[in-house]
Amino acid sequence: MKILKLPKGKLDLFASVVQQFGELHAPVEQDGKYVFKRLARWPDARLEYDRTILPPKKYFLPPRETLFRYRPGEGFVPSTDGLDQRIVLFGVHACDVYAINILDQVFLGKYKDPYYQARRRNIAIIGIDCTPDKQCFCRSMRADFVDHGFDLFFYDTGDYYQALVGTALGDDMVLATGNLFEPVGPADIDAYKERSWNKRRAFHLDVEIRDLSEIFEMEYESGIWDQLGRKCLSCGSCSMVCPTCYCYDVSDDVELGSRAGKRTRSWDSCLYFNHALVASGENFRRDRASRIKFRFYHKQRGFVAEYGRPSCVGCGRCVSACPVNIDTAQVIDRLRRVEDVGSR
Amino acid sequence: MSKPKVGIFGLTGCAGDQLAILNCEDRLLDLVALIDIRDFPMASSDGNQECALDIAMVEGAVVTMRDARRLRAIRQRSATLVALGTCAVWGGVAAMDRDLDRAKLLEEVYGELGKEYDSCPARALHEIVKVDHNITGCPIEKEHFLAAVASLLNGDPPLYPAYPVCTECRMRENNCLLIERGELCCGPITVAGCDARCPQLRIPCVGCRGPVTDANPASALALFEEKGFDRERIWARLRTFAPVGVAS
């Protein structure tokens, strides 16, 4: 991997050059929170942000999208709206890049999702390093660092951004700037290592995920799930803001007076009453407790069995978005603690 | 195939749902090309008040014995009955104080004359007759009405969200009024379908669409109390639009 550095003073220049690769989107402030948005002007970008309300998932798997239009006798026409739009996402944190890599496994694995695939191809990612806050546990989830899934990744080392070049496109971006980027020397390497060390020490939360899958297996009947079920509002906020929740619902909007229409998909959540409701009227997860339990099991156990790691990246969004303070890190901690076994 | 015969009626309410139908201006001609609107007193005074109907859509709550009689008569002449709007589905604003002493209320408002009035505690349609489908909202969304007609014409039941306003609010990436500003926002227990119109404008959800399927009012109540709202205020907010839903 190529490693270069960009003088901080030249970031504006870099941002203006990089726009030739697509529409520039970055975190901007919205009433004290942050959202990824198309930049009206570069100074609106907030590269030192905690977390955006929605993860970059919204660019690859929009909350609602039309898949195709259909008409009896004519078949269907896939929707291609916006799929070829070139976007540069500037300022994506490591956990969010990691989450996109997880989504890649789901949408670009055995069954390729053409909509996701097109967007993934056309959206460039420039990552940026961050400082963990009280809700971050990405390090515990091994998602505090990514080695792929981005085109460029910037580390703030004081006077410079040290840049990892992840793809040929990232390299093209570097080349397009002429000689803005410089080679790194021993002092830069030290600066990087110091930053890396400091970040490691900045975490407030530490969640142990080794053998977690097995502990989940053992605690299937734990009283914790009923307690959470009584508290959970089934509002679905945690799923909406989760960078790796990929469940979607598919529905047909029929045109008035015909059997033609359009098929849309929209974000879904396993916390909704009808998520496991099937045609016979049977509901496999009628109780709220079984639904929130399912969400934890899918993230921390089911996904491990299928893909070899939890699908949680420790971004902390579900914690900050839960109206009743259900805290993923705390739940895992409680499950692990011996003294809490009494709750069974 | 002959066009399905449809009737659109209002019991006690503000007529806002019927108005929402009339406001489908650019779709009205498409609509009457597909359905035969036989009886729609708010739109035309010379409807057929007797004929059998394939679909009846009824707005408003049952607040008088006359409402109840009308509703039963509509039910009797209709194959499918659709409750239109929050009042019809959940009792709505009229049912807010339905547990209070009716005679006392009548006297308070109308004095001596009140005794003569035909007035009973407000009820949702399903408390009087069998209701086949519900289109909730205060008022209903035009798009939901049109989609319901499209589905019914195809013999499909209309489908509505089984998730709360929070879902749509998060999809729109709004700041959370409940968590960030400590406002009494009913988003977590109110059924979606409005695309979080109010929170989008930083106005907390008042629950005008009624409760979501499998709402968790006990946890919501505890949450609101924790935010510093007293029970009376919370109760007043929750029963404003859907006293039937809150009581159940």
Which pLDDT tens digit goes with each residue over A115-172? Answer: 999 999 999 999 999 999 999 999 999 999 999 999 999 999 999 999 999 999 999 9
- Domain final position from A201, A222, A255: A201
Chain B positions touching A235 (Cβ under 8 A) are 163-164, 166-167, 187-188
Residue A308 falls inside a structural domain: yes
- The one-letter code for the residue type at B15 is A
Domain assignment present for residue B53? The answer is: yes
Check whether residue B178 and residue B202 sit in a common domain: yes
Domain that holds residue A43: 2-201
A144 lies in the same domain as A223: no
Task: Quote the CA–CA distance of A267 and A58 in Å, as a whole number.
Answer: 10
Residue A26 has pLDDT above 60, yes or no: yes
Residue environment code for B105-128, b if the CB has 16+ CB neighbours within 10 A, otherwise e: ebeeeeeeebeeeebebbbbbbeb
List chain B residues with CB under 8 Å of A267.
167, 171
Nearest CA in chain A to B187: A235
How far is A87 from chain B, CA to nearest CA, in Å? 19
In a domain, B160, yes or no: no
Query: Looking at the complex, does the CB of residue A262 fall below 8 Å from at least one CB of chain B?
Result: no
In a domain, A207, yes or no: no
Q: What is the mean pLDDT of chain A?
A: 95
**Domain interval for residue B50:** 5-153
Helix (H, G, I), strand (E, B) or coil at A27: strand
Q: What is the DSSP letter of A299?
A: I
Let me know whether A8 and A104 are in one domain.
yes
B199 and B122 fall within a common domain? no
Please check whether residues B72 and B135 belong to one and the same domain.
Answer: yes
> Is B149 an interface residue toward A (CB < 8 Å)?
yes
The predicted pLDDT at position B48 comes to 87
Across the interface, whether the CB atoms of B153 and A33 are under 8 A apart is answered no
Query: Given this model, what pLDDT does residue B248 score?
Result: 42
- β-strands A87-92, A123-128 pairing: parallel
- Chain B, window 201-220: residues with a beta carbon less than 8 angstroms from a chain A beta carbon: 212-216, 218-220
Domain count, chain A: 2
A264 three-class SS: strand
Residues A290, A310, single domain; the answer is yes
ipTM given for this complex: 0.94
Of B130, B153, B176, the domain-final residue? B153
Could you tell me if B32 lies within 8 Å of chain A, comparing CB atoms?
no
Determine the Cα–Cα distance for residues A191 and B78; give it in Å rounded to an integer: 78
- Which residues in chain A are contacts of B205 at CB distance < 8 A? none
Whether residue A307 contacts residue A102, with contact meaning beta carbons closer than 8 Å, is answered with yes
Residues B149 and B173 in one domain: no
Q: Using a CB-CB distance cutoff of 8 angstroms, which residues of chain A are in contact with residue B173?
A: 30, 35, 53-54, 58
The answer for residues whose C-beta is within 8 angstroms of residue B148's C-beta and 6 or more apart is B82, B133, B135, B158
Q: Classify residue B212: in a domain, yes or no.
A: yes
**Domain final residue pick, A201, A231, A254:** A201
Q: What was the pLDDT predicted at A343?
A: 52
Same domain, B76 and B133: yes
A-facing residues of B in 115-134 (CB < 8 A) are none
Residue B224 and residue B117 in one domain: no
In a domain, B158, yes or no: no
Q: What residue in B sits closest to A52 (Cα-Cα)?
A: B173
pLDDT in tens, A62-121: 999 999 999 999 999 999 999 999 999 999 999 999 999 999 999 999 999 999 999 999
Q: Which chain A residues are closer than 8 Å to B214 by Cβ?
A: 234, 273, 288
Total of domains in chain B: 2
Examine the pLDDT at B53 and tell me if it is beyond 50: yes
